[in-house]
Amino acid sequence: MSLPPLSERFRKGSLESSPIRRIMRLADRANIVDMGLDPDEMVSFAGGWVAHRSPEGLRAEYARLAGDPALFHELGAYSPTRGLPDLRAALLRLDRALHGTPGLSDEHLLVGQSSTGLTYALFVALLDPGDRVVLFDPSYANYAPQLALAQEGIEILRLPVMDAGSWSWFEDEAAVLETLAGFLERDRPKLLLLSAPDNPTGRVVPDGAFDRIVAMAADTGCWVVVDYAYRAQCWTAEQPASFSASPAERRNLVRIHSNSKWCRGLGRRLGWIEATPELVQALEVVQQSTALCPDTVHQFALAGYLHAALDDGSLEAYLAEARRRYRAAADFLGTCLDEHLRLRWLPPEGGLYTVLDVGGDGDDFAREVLRETGVVLVPGSGFGPSLRNAVRVSFGPLVDDLPRIEVGISRVGRWMRHASSLPSGLP
């Protein structure tokens, strides 16, 4: 008996896995063994996760609630779809302490199962089949597959913010804004989506340009959605003003936040979104049919930790130390790239990544590097055409193992020098 078919979108190949997941499958332990490599000698610069320790106060809060049988039983119940009121209050306190977003209130906030799930819910709430969406070129590789899953026929417009010729990001601000103005006037996109700091470049949109983008989009009825997954890992001298841009004042602005990166809550799935109350209400309807409600245990523990850590000042100290360490890892990676590879790279302002110009097809380069050196890099093509000849390098998982960064980069450098001495040379 044959199985019933999958959906037409799957059969036609319009729903594809993330390019990052494809390279991670290539680097699977079993595949590495098949390639004749030692998995224990691999060095991966592919991971999009943080490695610093979670706050001890957060761990202690989980221990407290797990040690209280009555409380543990109580937390097995559903929470409100929009999240526990005490967590929403704690998140508003968090914003006031760190960012001071004007006008932000409980009616602007919804807690969800994860920022990934909330992004999908947002696409369902805002987009119709055939709508146009603006993504930066480059931008996070998972946005396009999520858009394809959420609605059929979504057309993606790529806004070039990376100049591969000069290897610069948002250098010609006027040209970027002029191209965006053309999209808005001619194509009437429904939504513009970006991350800050950016994945994959680690850069932050200049404040003046950010203000113009939101204002221009508002004039043509376009939503601006900002993914702040790496906001806690931003180390610019001054906090970007865009980090406190308010959906209460700019009604077309939507802010998505993640529990994953700042407190290493990657597997404790939780996120929240801030938007105009009308959109929050729509998202609540979507969430009722997708996640029903966020995890009650995670919400309760995070709320308790945030209130205590804000009261005693330990939260800001924890975040400052984490920023210092990720900046140190980024600087060390840059030193290694300059010394061993001597290829162009983009100094990050935050996040976990930089991008490296390899001078040829990045997919081929990543596969060859993996096969010859056991070092895992992510091809740049999945992030947009501007990075076709590039790879993304992540320092996040190695923030506590800087010598391992040099081991991996020096290994690639030795292979490149050897390959360049061969008749065919490098790509």
List, for residues 17-71, the tens digit of each pLDDT value: 665 666 667 667 787 787 777 888 899 999 889 999 999 999 999 999 999 999 9
Residue 3 lies in a domain: no
Helix axes 314-336, 402-420, angle to 10 degrees: 20
Clarify whether residues 152 and 114 are in a common domain: yes
Clarify whether residues 167 and 42 are in a common domain: no
- List all residues 6 or more positions away from 5 whose beta carbon is below 8 Å from its beta carbon: 11
For 321-339, how does the pLDDT look when each residue is reduced to its tens digit (9 = 90+)? 999 999 999 999 999 999 9
Return the closest-CA partner of residue 425 out of 284, 415, 408, 173: 415
pLDDT at 39: 81
Residue 256 lies in a domain: yes
Residue 190 near residue 127, CB atoms below 8 Å: yes
140, two tokens: 């996070």
pLDDT at 84: 98
In angstroms, the Cα distances linking 287 to 88, 142, 247, 250, 370 are 16, 20, 20, 24, 40
Over range 338-351, report the average pLDDT: 97
Clarify whether residues 90 and 145 are in a common domain: yes
pLDDT at 426: 54
Clarify whether residues 177 and 320 are in a common domain: no
For 90-106, how does the pLDDT look when each residue is reduced to its tens digit (9 = 90+)? 999 999 999 999 999 99
Residue 426 lies in a domain: no
Q: How far apart are alpha carbons 330 and 322 in whole angstroms? A: 12
Q: Pick the last residue of a domain from 289, 314, 339.
A: 314
370 burial (CB, 10 Å; 0-12 / 13-18 / 19+) is buried
Clarify whether residues 332 and 320 are in a common domain: yes
Clarify whether residues 136 and 265 are in a common domain: yes
The pair phi, psi for residue 395, each rounded to 5°, is -105, -5
Scanning 291-395, the segments in alpha helix (DSSP H) are 296-312, 314-336, 362-373
Query: Quick one: what percent of the chain has pLDDT higher than 70?
Result: 95
CA angle at residue 352 from 257 to 420, to 5 degrees? 150
Q: How far apart are alpha carbons 48 and 200 in whole angstroms? A: 10
Residue 253 sits in a domain whose CATH number is 3.40.640.10
Clarify whether residues 203 and 232 are in a common domain: yes
Q: Pick the last residue of a domain from 290, 314, 338.
A: 314
pLDDT at 413: 97
Q: How far apart are alpha carbons 52 and 327 in whole angstroms? A: 13
Clarify whether residues 113 and 173 are in a common domain: yes
Q: How far apart are alpha carbons 129 and 145 in whole angstroms? A: 15
Task: Report the domain count for the chain.
Answer: 2
Q: How far apart are alpha carbons 129 and 58 in whole angstroms? A: 42
Q: Pick the last residue of a domain from 273, 290, 314.
A: 314
pLDDT at 17: 65
Clarify whether residues 168 and 292 are in a common domain: yes
Q: Which domain holds residue 263?
A: 56-314
pLDDT at 1: 67
Residue 99 lies in a domain: yes
Over range 209-234, report the average pLDDT: 97
Residue 110 near residue 252, CB atoms below 8 Å: no
Q: How far apart are alpha carbons 48 and 23 in whole angstroms? A: 13
Scanning 99-232, the segments in alpha helix (DSSP H) are 115-126, 143-150, 173-182, 207-219
Over range 149-163, report the average pLDDT: 95
Q: How far apart are alpha carbons 62 and 199 in whole angstroms? A: 31
CA angle at residue 272 from 88 to 21, to 5 degrees? 155
Residue 427 lies in a domain: no
Q: How many CA atoms lie within 13 A of 200 on its CB side?
A: 35
Residues pairing with 162 in the sheet = 169
- List all residues 6 or more positions away from 281 whose beta carbon is below 8 Å from its beta carbon: none
- Find the distance separating the first CA and the last CA of the chain, reported in whole Å: 49
Clarify whether residues 307 and 407 are in a common domain: no
pLDDT at 14: 66
Clarify whether residues 321 and 306 are in a common domain: no
pLDDT at 33: 80
Q: Which amino acid would we find at residue 393?
A: V
Query: Quick one: what percent of the chain has pLDDT higher than 90?
Result: 86
For 111-142, how does the pLDDT look when each residue is reduced to its tens digit (9 = 90+)? 999 999 999 999 999 999 999 999 999 999 99
Report the 10 Å Cβ neighbour count for 385. 13
Residue 320 lies in a domain: yes
For 233-283, how does the pLDDT look when each residue is reduced to its tens digit (9 = 90+)? 999 999 999 999 999 999 999 999 999 999 999 999 999 999 999 999 999
pLDDT at 13 over 80: no
Q: What is the mean pLDDT of the chain?
A: 93
Residue 355 sits in a domain whose CATH number is 3.90.1150.10
Residue 335 lies in a domain: yes
In angstroms, the Cα distances linking 293 to 76, 210, 259, 270, 388 are 12, 33, 16, 10, 40
Q: How far apart are alpha carbons 149 and 162 in whole angstroms? A: 27
Residue 107 lies in a domain: yes
Clarify whether residues 160 and 255 are in a common domain: yes
